Amino acid sequence: MEKKYDLNNIVEMKKPHPCGTNSFQIVRMGADIKIRCTNCERTIMMPRRDFDKRLKKVIIN
């Protein structure tokens, strides 16, 4: 199953950020994906393969 997501989408991850929320905005896409926490504005960069494993669902397209 292919997950559909694009730049600036809000996504829900399986594990929450230490600040308590598990919703993130996609900021950069490529071989690596950079996401920003919607609560505390911290950014996380991870390989696309890891992102696909940790993604739960796309909230806002």
Domain ranges of the chain: 1-8+19-51
The pLDDT tens digits for 2-58 are 668 999 999 999 999 999 999 999 999 999 999 999 999 999 999 999 999 999 999
Query: Is residue 1's pLDDT more than 60?
Result: no
Please, what is the average pLDDT of the chain? 93
**Rounded Cα distance, 39 and 49, in Å:** 24
**Rounded Cα distance, 37 and 1, in Å:** 26
* pLDDT value at residue 3: 67
Spatial CB neighbours of 2, under 8 Å, sequence gap ≥ 6: none
Distances (CA, A) of 44 to 1, 2, 31, 35, 36: 25, 22, 14, 5, 6
